[in-house]
Chains A and B, each alone.
Chain A
Amino acid sequence: MLWLKNARVVDPAQGISGIRDVFVRDGRILMIGRSIPTDRLTDGGEPETLDCAGKYLFPGLVDAHVHLREPGQEYKEDIASGSRAAVRGGVTSLICMANTSPVIDSQALVAFVARQGRRAGLAHVYPAAAVTKGMAGEELTEMAELKASGAIAFSDDGRGVQNGEIMRLALEYAKLTGCPVVSHCEDAALAGKGVMRRGRASAALGLAGMPGAAESAMAARDVLLAGETGGKLHLAHVSTRGTLAALRAGKAAGWDVTAEVNPHHLILTDEDVPLTNSAFKVNPPLPSAEDRDALLLALADGTIDMLASDHAPHAWEEKARPFAEAPFGMTALETALPAIWTYLVQPGKLSVERLVDAFARRPAERFALEAGTLRPGMPADMVLFDPEYQEIVTASDMASKSVNTPFLGRTLRGYPVKTWVGGHLVFERPAAV
């Protein structure tokens, strides 16, 4: 039994934003209220109490886009280390992508990932399975059986499904499962050899640029296919105004389309890319300032449904290369929430309510996970968040095996200080207690 007192609870699913007490029993939320009558709490012994004054209590974050690299690339990350990184960042449920080695395209592999997640015993790990066998973009996976083994979404994330007919069929066939098809929108021909967004910054650095249409042309295609099929589409990591236009059109037409945005696309732009720091190399690439501003507005107004980290760990030696030769991707599980707080919430660009809505409630709803709210009866997945706590992002502190984050060396303010999963304390920030 756990009694959290005087926390600033933010739980958009219940319309709560204010000082509350929260009572946890048997791993689930029992009660939430302004003051909990003590006579109702004493059945079964003395509860552990924690005074949370000055701190926020959020439902555990739900990260719809994570790369945990297991099986096959455990030198970058594995499910255990990724789970530690998740709870350190306040993430208690995550969806891990299928572009491992081998690709998650069979029942056994889906079950393996789910089992490794349970063995790690920290965050809830939900596998996404591939849309096409081997992510080759040619034949659909056995979606019904994959779902039965635990897949909760289908995605060829890491590359776009180039063949429009295959994507159309995927949206049709996935109806058998009720799971969304997640689209990594990237037209390979348009993207070419680009390593950052095409624009003045890429021209000045002499780095090959990929035009915004490399993303938005496929996003528009997939939105139209969702409309025509009635399928369930989720757009991963949207980063251009063109994609937002397609998304708005699809939503206005009443089609079943959602989208996520990554924190780094809301905070950094192509002008921030240093020629010799490949931690800033990510796909989709960092946006123009105009795109970045439009993304933030679209997140605030709900056009973009949710936040997701796109945590993409890579080993030091893979990133310690000239920009064009390094792999795409940033680690983000441990920095997403502090970075959003520092750069978006603190300056008043994003409300704390919308933050929790977008990073917990909406992804849980979209992927039908038992998470994202502190409603009585729900698992007690919770984050105690200190808005004043500051820390310099330091490689040696990371729980992730990789440290390829552009925020390295920056001071961020606003960190999770305790994380519970199913009522168990799974993370405590040492210096903050």
Chain B
Amino acid sequence: MKYTGNVIKYGDNVDTDVIIPARYLNTSDHAELASHCMEDIDKSFVNRVKQGDIMVAGENFGCGSSREHAPIAIKASGISLVIAGSFARIFYRNAINIGLAIVECPAAAKEISEGDKVEADLDNGIIRDLTTGREYKTAPFPEFVQKIIENGGLMQSIVNGVF
């Protein structure tokens, strides 16, 4: 899969409470969740995010609550890919399960800046910062995880008889 978009950048330990505050968890409507995405740390996010934008963040992205509403809100806001130094494990599973593209790449997470234009080719494990001209290599997903992604998420994998 290939993704191209402008970067919106955050720091380390972005938790799922700030991705989507619990006061909005009385709904599971995707558009409604997206309308409050990131608001406790970045009120401007919902207004400036554009379809296809790429979110870049530091270590331990998505830590805290297991709420799947968090990757849902990010995906529904238009973000096409999240690049982070590392992901908290429940968020990592949830993103794969619902089909939000994510990739771990500490060097890219560190060097890419807010507003840069980035192109990511996950099949070949390459991230290019088109603004700075720098290129980064990423590790491929384990085959098992790749299968879930190829089948369009966990539920579809079950329907397709992968398990």
Q: Is A bound to B? A: no
Q: Which residues from chain B sit less than 8 Å from chain A, CB to CB? A: none
Q: Which residues from chain A sit less than 8 Å from chain B, CB to CB? A: none
